[in-house]
Amino acid sequence: MQRDCTINTYESDNMAIISILGDLTSSVEESMKKAYKKACGYKTDKIIFKFDGKSRINSTGIAIMIDIVIQSQEENRKIFITGVSKHFHKIFDLVGLSRYTTIVESEEEVKNL
Amino acid sequence: MEAIYHDVIELSVPSRLGLEKVAIDAAASIAKLMGFSEDRIEDLKTAVEEACINSIEHGNKQNHNTKVLVELIADENKLQVDIHDMGKRIPTKIQIPDIDAKMAKRQSSRGWGLFLIKSLMDEVKFDWNPETGNMTRMVIYLKK
């Protein structure tokens, strides 16, 4: 009954992109872990989670992101978030995840960082 | 002068993860009809989602033969959403989630549901009794 979620991982301009079309909930936990693992295989320390602008996140989705950010810190990788709705951004601020990730307008922005 | 109204809508949702979407969409539809802003409707959708998931997972233990009852009570200046399940008491006094503690692995990465509900709604009340189970009451006010 949840919005279908499609996750794709690819490399672009020396950045790893994890494209997420759908909602970040418990149903995508394993897919997210696999996507992150694949992203770590690229020779870059920049990993961008690219949402579709309509994606929602719930409490389990928050936990999934926290686990990924913890792992990324241990591996000295930087996590960027893009394509999020105003509400998604609000949730990230509310729980404090925006202090541990960088929310950007587009992946273009990350190229210059 | 606007009419004073008090509309009650009830939904009975099987305890199956994913079906909380029915309650989310119903709450959002009513809130939209009442004139809530898009921002507040998004807050409501997240709170209803978390409360329903709690009832499905922790209250009714995902027993598909049990139901989660959702009451949407629309008044002139507020929307009240009561979520009922038939389970044992769900702990509502939990450790306050702390992102720094979670990042340092001193807390589990989970446990955000009640925090989100309390943060996003204007009023929240949790109740339980052995005959009727758990009830989560959430209220948002129209601020014109």
Size of interface A-B (CB pairs under 8 A): 68
Q: Cα(first)–Cα(last) distance of chain B, in Å?
A: 16
CA distance A69 to chain B (A): 8
Whether chain A has a CB inside 8 Å of the CB on B97: the answer is yes
- Set of chain B residues whose Cβ sits within 8 Å of the Cβ of A64: 109
Q: How far apart are CA B141 and CA B77, in angstroms?
A: 6
Confidence class of residue A69 from pLDDT cuts 50, 70 and 90?
Answer: very high
- Residue B1: pLDDT over 60: no
Of A1, A59, A100, the CB nearest to B21: A1
Contact A66 B99 (CB under 8 A): yes
Encoded tokens for B108: 């589990």
Q: Rounded mean pLDDT of B111-127?
A: 96
Interchain contact, A94 vs B119, CB within 8 Å: yes
What pLDDT band is residue B23 in, cutting at 50, 70 and 90?
A: very high
Considering only CB atoms, which chain B residues are within 8 Å of A99?
99
Measured distance CA(A54)–CA(A49) in Å, rounded: 14
- At A93-107, the pLDDT tens digits run 999 999 999 999 999
> Over the stretch B66-107, which tens digit does the pLDDT of each residue have?
999 999 999 999 999 999 999 988 887 778 899 999 999 999
Task: Give me the mean pLDDT over the B6-21 stretch.
Answer: 95
According to the model, what pLDDT value does residue B91 have?
A: 82
Mean pLDDT value of segment B116-127: 97
Burial (Cβ within 10 Å: 0-12, 13-18, ≥19) of residue B3 = exposed
Q: Each residue of A76-95: pLDDT tens digit?
A: 999 999 999 999 999 999 99
Give the ipTM.
0.92
CA distance A15 to chain B (A): 24
Task: State the average pLDDT for chain B.
Answer: 93
Cβ-nearest to B99 among A26, A58, A95: A95
pLDDT for residue B82:
98
- Distance (Å, rounded) from C-alpha B21 to C-alpha B27? 10
**Residue A7 or B1, more confident:** A7
